[in-house]
Amino acid sequence: MYNLKFDLALLGEENVVYKDVNIDFNYGDIINIIGETGCGKSTFYKMLMGRVKPASGIISSTITNNAVVVSDYVSVPKEVLIKDIFCFMGIGKISYVKRIFPEIYNYISEIKYKEVGNLSTGERRILEIFCALSTKKNILILDEASNGLDFKNRNVLTDKLRLLAKQNDIVIFNTTHYIEDALALGGKIYIMNKEKALFKKYIGNYNVNDISNYINGGVV
């Protein structure tokens, strides 16, 4: 079991916005962080990675050393084939993903002769997850990963992520401002609201209207 206890100021701001935040998680957990643009979701995940220090509290090196973010993780020329990315990564990393995450490996292998520039947004996102998993880190941070995906690709991504969390020693932090995506993915839900200085676990009926009311009203 991991525990995060911290106060957090946003990047470029001196005042502490979120105080006495407490998050417990374990392997297999999915943790959705829901909030509007500018509420500090990116600051939070950078704190998990050790790039930003909390205003108070200590983030264990066990967490920071094992966190990897999926956010346009792959930045290569559009003419490059996926099979060439395999070569760049090396047989050790490829074998690791194939052994531990066969569903992700098989999905990417089926499109390995595609150029990066010809991938759909959904295919590219799963390729980013593939590359992130190859680092052998087990805290996977998704930064608005469903952005730009149509309904079909969102479902594919959601299915792959649920399987990852269920079958492997992976923790998924999913930052989003789409309540529907968090509900589809499942797991715990935390609300970030900068105006109300609210960073709190949501406890209640897991539906869009109830969570929207909680975000707006700040009460369960």
The answer to whether residues 108 and 85 touch, using CB atoms and an 8 Å cutoff, is no
Question: CB within 8 A of 68, min separation 6: which ones?
Answer: 49, 132, 135, 137, 139, 140, 141
Q: Tell me, what's the pLDDT at 98?
A: 95
Instruction: Quote the number of domains for the chain.
Output: 1
Q: What is the pLDDT of residue 202?
A: 93
Q: What is the pLDDT of residue 97?
A: 95
Rg (CA), the chain: 18
Per-residue model confidence (pLDDT) at position 68:
93
* List of residues 6+ apart from 70 with CB closer than 8 A: 125, 128, 129, 132, 140, 141, 142, 143, 145
Greatest Cα-to-Cα distance within the chain, rounded to the nearest angstrom: 52
Question: What domain range is 57 assigned to?
Answer: 2-217
Query: Cα–Cα distance between 160 and 142 in angstroms, integer?
Result: 13
* Residues of the chain where predicted confidence (pLDDT) is lower than 50: 73, 220
In this structure, what CATH number is given to the domain that contains residue 85? 3.40.50.300
Q: What is the pLDDT of residue 217?
A: 63
